[in-house]
Chains A and B, each alone.
Chain A
Amino acid sequence: MYKNYVDTSADTFPLITLVGPPNSGKTTLFNYLSGKKLKTVNYPGSTVDYSVCRIQEKYNINANLLDSPGIISLIPGSPDEQVAVSSLYAHPKFGVPDIVITTIDASQLSRHLLLTKQLLESGFRVVVVLTMTDILKKKGLQVSASRLKAELNAPVFVVDGRTGEGIPQLMNKIGKLLKKDQLNTDRKISAITEKKDFLKFYGEIEKIENKVLVPDPDKKKIAKANRKLRILTDPSAKKDCYKIDSTTVKIDKYLLNKNWGLFFFFIIMSLTFSSIFWLAQPLMNLVDSFFGMMNVMFSGLLGTTWYSDLISNGLISGTGAVLVFVPQIAMLFLILGLLEDSGYLARGAMLVDKPLSRIGLNGKSFVPMLSGFACAIPAMMAARTIPNRKERLLTIFILPLMSCSARLPVYALLIAFIIPPENSFAGGVVLASIYLFGIISSILIAGLINKFRDKIIKAEDNSSFILELPAYRLPKMKVVVHNAFISTKLYLRKAGPIILAFSLIIWLLTYFPNYNPEIDAKDLSKVEYVKLQETERLSGSYAAMLGKFIQPVMEPIGMDWRVGVSLISAFAAREVFVSSLALIFKVTDDDDTHLQNSIISAMRNARVESSGEKLFTTATIAGLIVFFIFALQCISTIAVSRKETGGWRIPVLQVVIFTSLAFCMTFITVNGLRFIGIQ
């Protein structure tokens, strides 16, 4: 799901590579030309890997298009920039590009021309694309494409990758260029490092800038006739394009305020996490009653046969128990998307840079940490934007502590056990506290490891925080909703089969060998008889036999083998825990039309077999929540951690430390709560 899209069917086609500074519209253009829907975000550094795709057939160009992470010069400063530079010079699969399209944000002309000039001097065949001309227009200015073309001696096109404006002309030129043979394929690296070279380069760029920036024709009409065709040579007019967005400055006066900035940060983050719960509640009820109804219908229809049990228990309850919580996952994606599109992320990074740098992290750890709440896998990849290696590794190390979306169904069920669903306000607060607890733990652990590691690794890398703060803008609802929908769909496609498969496996393990226990039926009513029979069957099942092994480990933390089996199956996918509880505690005994309610009432009735005490109490539920906060139960996370850190050391440490920590913290929570009198 989180692999980047690489169409490997045809690597013999010519290659067109998109490079440009961060946030200059590369991915937007890539999506338009390829018909793909990669995510675009208002944060410098949202693309951290390359993606390759064929250009859509309608353009009549047989070529691969490669999108790359943003770079500001040809000397990479962080792993994501390294990906972009390598894909220019020595892409392992596609080689050297035939054409390089470089995007320039027209409102950032002088800064973005630096890379273009480097590319031209390095001998690439460059096509320049001017984006964001609408923003420049608001400042009453325009870039003259023909003049820029003459200055750079390279084709220049004005394009809006959101509307497709200018695309036909661009593609026409590319088609023609591809028919011509390239003169040479030798590429040098024209990378400037010396101050005098910067001065020379920027001097040339400013000359170009003066020549190509012209007043916008709409504005021109209003202006005096004699100013009509004047080139902007006087510095006061040029200053217009250096004006920064005044609304952004005003908003930042509050959101980045020295005293209030952190307060607003805290409010925004808490609202983000608590609103997941509030907003999803109505939708959740709907899905919930749907599965409840299905269950009642099927068990009524099929009677008490093994296949009725398979369908209503194994399939509907097992998968439904998780699907009930999908609205919450969708809300999480939606809210994170809104935050990403607003431009606030870069501010968040700036606000937390100082405290995070104290514990060996970086302000740039903030965005990976936040996306860790959706999934640790893209989050670990997002850590590529952190230039300092030590800070990057430490960020990756603590990312599994960010409660990912797979944990949401587990938390939601456990919260619903303690807090009635009517009180969704309290539920939201508890959920936000769980997230906060995860964050605080991760900070403590990072601090500890940082202290410890300074003794082991002596190498001092330069720690740096240089980040562009993009202008604020109203999130585009249509795009954000669409992205959240796609993410949810991908989530279902990835997790769905695993949940289904494990529901079946657990059903098999709990249903078989299915012998008929002998029960003295004399003093029992029919209902009691069936109940007792089922209990006896479960304790003789294969699941119970397996469970006996883990019983000794589960007892100290107040659980029994049934919870143990569920915890182990959660290693396949954390959500399976919920399916497993639903199956093992046989929720269909109930006629409740709400699936969630029947799971909860089944949990309430569950008793520890040896002592007869209630199995799920406030203490054990809190213990389970703590277990899920710490435990690293995700195989894909381990694999990505290995890839991103370049070895097994960190992923192995993560599994050992987080899993043992989960057990210890659960032990402390359950017994601590009992000690102070909370059962």
Chain B
Amino acid sequence: MRTAAELKFGEKVIINDVDTEHPSSRRIMEIGFTPGQEIELINISAFNDPMAFSVRGTIIALRRNEAHCIKIM
């Protein structure tokens, strides 16, 4: 399964699952990344990390390893 870290610019996808093994997963869900939500990759910072996604009408920056726990279809 692909993860949000592998998204391309402009590609809109629906979150399928969030990997709860990752210690940041609770915060990721709290801030709005829940299964069923649409997300889009907005920006990738210099050094390829962190990445910024749009979710629920806002932009959230996450580290690449944290984006990996957001599974997409």
Contact = CB atoms under 8 A, between A and B. Distances in A.
Interface in B29-69: 29-32, 34-36, 38, 42-50, 52, 54, 56-63, 66
A467 B28 CA distance: 10
B60 A469 contact: yes
Nearest to A353: B50
A198 B23 contact: no
B45 A114 contact: no
Nearest to B52: A469
Contacts of A248: 59
Interface stretch (A105-113, A310-318, A503-511, A609-617): A105-113
Given A198-B34, A202-B34, A351-B45, A241 B57 contact: yes
A466 B66 contact: yes
A468 B60 CA distance: 4
B30 A465 contact: no
Contact of B27 (A114, A351, A353, A464): A464
A353 B45 contact: yes
A426 interface: no
Contact of B46 (A195, A198, A199, A258): A258
A109 B49 CA distance: 28
Interface residues of A, number: 42
B52 A350 contact: yes
A261 B46 CA distance: 7
Given A111-B58, A468-B58, A469-B59, A249 B34 contact: no
Nearest to B43: A256
A195 B57 contact: no
B2 interface: no
Contacts of A462: 23-24
A179 B14 CA distance: 48
Chain B contact-residue range equals 35 or more
B57 A107 contact: yes
B63 A111 contact: no
A108 B59 CA distance: 11
Nearest to B34: A202
Given A466-B60, A466-B66, A355 B47 contact: yes
A353 B49 CA distance: 8
B66 A244 contact: no
A110 B56 contact: yes
Given A111-B58, A241-B57, A72 B31 contact: yes
Given A256-B52, A261-B45, A199 B26 contact: no
Contacts of A253: 43
A467 B63 CA distance: 10
Nearest to B38: A242
A252 interface: yes
Residue among B27, B30, B49, B50 facing the most chain A CB atoms (10 A cut-off): B30
Given A252-B59, A262-B46, A354-B45, 18 more contacts: A108-B58, A111-B56, A198-B34, A242-B54, A243-B57, A258-B45, A351-B45, A353-B61, A353-B63, A354-B46, A355-B47, A464-B23, A465-B62, A465-B63, A466-B61, A466-B66, A469-B58, A469-B60
Interface of B: 18, 20, 23-32, 34-36, 38, 42-50, 52, 54, 56-63, 66
13 contacts: A73-B30, A75-B30, A77-B27, A111-B57, A199-B35, A258-B44, A261-B45, A262-B46, A462-B24, A465-B61, A466-B24, A467-B61, A468-B61
